[in-house]
Amino acid sequence: MSAFHRDIQAQDEYPIWDPDGETLARPELEQLQLERLRSLVSRLAQVPFYRDQLSHRDIRPQGIRDLADVRKLPFTTKADMRRQHPLGLLAVPRKALARIHGSSGTTGKPTFVAYTAKDLETWSELCARFLTAGGVRPEHSAQVAFGYGLFTGGFGLHYGLERVGATVIPAAAGNTRRQIEIMRDLNPEVLICTPSYALTIADAARELGIDPRALPIRIGHFGGEPWTEDMRREIEQELDISAFNNYGLSEVIGPGVSGECPARAGMHIQEDHFLVECLDPESLEPVPEGEPGELVITALTREAMPMLRYRTRDIARLTREPCACGRTTMRMSRVTGRTDDMLIIRGVNVFPSQIEEALLRVEGTTPHYLIEVSRPGTLDEVHVKVEIHPEIFSDRMDRMQRLRERIGREINRVAGIRAHVDLVEPRSIERFVGKAKRVLDKRGLSDPAS
C-alpha cells in the first residue's frame, strides 16, 4: 500500500464531492429514484421506440407506484440501439444537442450516444464524485492517457477533472516515451488510462533507465478494460501509487456510473442518477444481494437519450452494506464477466463474429478458428489459430507468411486490434455439435475479492 493511500485511509472524514447526492438516507434516496423514474416514463413518450413499447404494455407514469414496478418496464438492448441507428432514441430536438459520442458495435459501425448541455454538466459532476473519492484535489495535475474522439472515456474524465478544479494534461493515448517525458516535465500527481497501459508505462520507464517509482504520479484512476486485484497490487507496487477503479458505459452515459472510495470495498453507484438491477441473465429475475448477476441500468436523469433498463451484459455483485467512507449508495463489485461473447482487448470491444468476418474475406481460409487471449506481461495478446484449405497449405515459408500478413491486416481493419495469426492444418481445430467454442481467455480476470 502506498504512503498516499495510508494517508487517506487515516483521515477521519473521507472527501465527498456532493454530500446531498452521495449520503442520502435510503428512504429519501428511494423516494427520489421513484420520482425520477416516473418522470422518465413520462419523457419517454417523446421517443417513438419507447412510446410503442410502453403503449403496448399500457404503462403510464401514475402506474409506477414503487421501485419494484420497474420490472413492468421493457428492456433496452444493444440490438435495439442498432435498429434505431443513428439517433432514433433521441428525446429532444436535434438542435438541443451539445455533443455526440459513440462506441463500436459488432459491425464496426459506431452506436451513437447524444448529450444536451445539461447531460454534459451531469456527466462532469458524476466523474467529479469518484475522482474526489479517489483522492484528486484542485491543486493536482492529471495526465489523461486515454484516447480522445468518439470514445467517451477521455472526455468524461477530462471534464470531471476540470470540474474538480485539477489541471488537465490531455496527453491522449499512445507514444509511451512521450508520456514519460510529459510526466517528468510537468510533474502530474494523477494518471488516467487503462490499467494495462499503466504497467506499460512502468516497463518503458525502466527500459529508459528510470525508476518507475520515481515518476511523480501518486494516484491512478483506471478503467476501459477488466482488471483484477492482483493487477491493482502490481500497479501500486510498480509505480508507488494508489490505484482506483471506476465503471461506466457509453450507452448509459460513459464513465461516472460508479467508482471507488478510499475504502475500496466496491464501486459506489450514483443511485440518484441510475437505477441499477442485478438479474439472472436467463430468467431475468432479481438475484439475491451479493450474488452475481447481469447489471441492468436505467438512466433516470439523462435528457437527450434516456435509457430504460439497459442490459449491459456485464456480470457483477451488488451490496447495500454500509461503507466506512460515509456514502450511503449501493456498491458494485468489479465486472467479472459478460453474458455475451464480447472481449475487451486493450480497451477495444471485440466480438468473435468480427474475427470470423475478417477471416472469410481472405481467400483460402475456413470458418474454423480459435481465439486465444492472454496477458503474459502488461498488455493483452491475441493469437488466432486459423484452419486453411488443403490446397492452400504449403511448406513454403514465404507463401505462408504472406497469408498470415493478409489475415492480420484484415483482422485489424475489421476488429481494430492486432493479432498473432497461426495457420494450422485442416481439421486440427476441435469441432462441436452444439455452439462452437471460439474463445480461450487465459487472462484470469475473475474477481477473487468479490
Each residue's pLDDT tens digit, 368-379: 789 999 988 888
Helix (H, G, I), strand (E, B) or coil at 219: strand
Q: Mean pLDDT for the chain? A: 89
Q: Which domains does the chain have, with CATH numbers?
A: 3-340 (3.40.50.12780), 345-441 (3.30.300.30)
Quote the pLDDT of residue 104: 53
Q: What is the pLDDT of residue 449?
A: 36
Q: Extract the C-alpha cell encoding 43.
A: 419523457
Distances (CA, A) of 209 to 206, 218, 240, 398, 409: 5, 20, 17, 38, 34
For the residues 412-440, what does the mean pLDDT come to?
78
Nearest partner of 98 among 45, 49, 155, judged by Cα: 155
The reported pLDDT for the residue numbered 41 is 97
Q: Is the pLDDT of residue 4 over 70?
A: no
| Residue 284 region by backbone torsions, left for phi larger than 0, else alpha for psi between -120 and 50, else beta | left
Looking at residues 124-134, what average pLDDT do you find?
97
Is 344's pLDDT higher than 70?
A: yes
What is the end-to-end Cα distance of the chain in Å, rounded? 19
Q: How far is Cα 445 from Cα 344, in angstroms, rounded to an integer?
A: 11
Q: What percent of the chain has pLDDT over 90?
A: 65
User: For position 450, what pLDDT does the model report?
Assistant: 38
Mean pLDDT of the 78-96 span: 95
- Determine the 3-state secondary structure of 355 from DSSP: helix
Give the DSSP letter string of 35-46. Answer: HHHHHHHHHGGG
pLDDT at position 446 over 70: no
Residue 445 confidence (pLDDT): 63
Report residue 10's pLDDT band, with 50, 70 and 90 as the boundaries: very low
Average pLDDT over residues 344-352: 79
Please name every residue paired with 243 in a beta bridge, in sequence order, or none if there are none: 220
- Cβ–Cβ < 8 Å for 70, 298: yes
Coil vs helix vs strand at 262 = coil
Instruction: Give 343's strand partners.
Output: 350
Beta bridge partners of 219: 190, 242
The predicted model gives 189-195 an average pLDDT of 94
Asked if omega into 86 is within 30° of 0 (cis), the reply is yes
Q: Residue 345, Cα to own-chain centre: how many angstroms?
A: 12
> Taking a C-beta distance cutoff of 8 angstroms, is the pair 63, 76 a contact?
no
Q: Is the dihedral of CA 157, 348, 448, 339 positive or negative?
A: positive
Q: What is the predicted pLDDT for the residue at 187?
A: 98
Q: 318 pLDDT exceeds 70? A: yes
146-183 per-position pLDDT tens digit: 988 888 989 999 999 999 999 999 999 888 999 999 99
pLDDT bin (cut points 50, 70, 90) of residue 431 is low
Residue 2: pLDDT above 60?
no
CB within 8 Å of 183: residues ≥ 6 apart: 143, 191, 215, 216, 217
Of the listed ranges 24-38, 115-129, 152-166, 401-415, the one predicted with least confidence: 401-415
Asked whether residue 9 carries a pLDDT value surpassing 70, the answer given is no
Report how far Cα 248 is from the mean position of its chain's Cα atoms.
5
* pLDDT computed for residue 444 by the predictor: 74
pLDDT band at 231 (very low <50, low <70, confident <90, very high): confident
Order of strands across the sheet that contains 190-193: 167-169, 141-144, 190-193, 219-222, 242-249, 254-260, 267-269, 331-332, 318-319
Q: Quick one: pLDDT band at residue 127, thresholds 50, 70, 90?
A: very high
Lowest mean pLDDT segment, chosen from 149-163, 199-213, 216-230, 421-435: 421-435
Kindly give, in sequence order, each residue whose CB lies less than 8 Å from that of residue 162, ignoring residues fewer than 6 positions away.
124, 168
Backbone angles phi, psi at 59, to 5 degrees: -105, 130
Mean pLDDT score, 289-313: 96
Please report the pLDDT score of residue 395 as a whole number: 66
> Cell 460515509, residue?
326
Quick check: 106 pLDDT over 50?
no
Q: How far apart are CA 124 and CA 120, in angstroms?
A: 6
Distance CA 146, CA 155 (A): 9
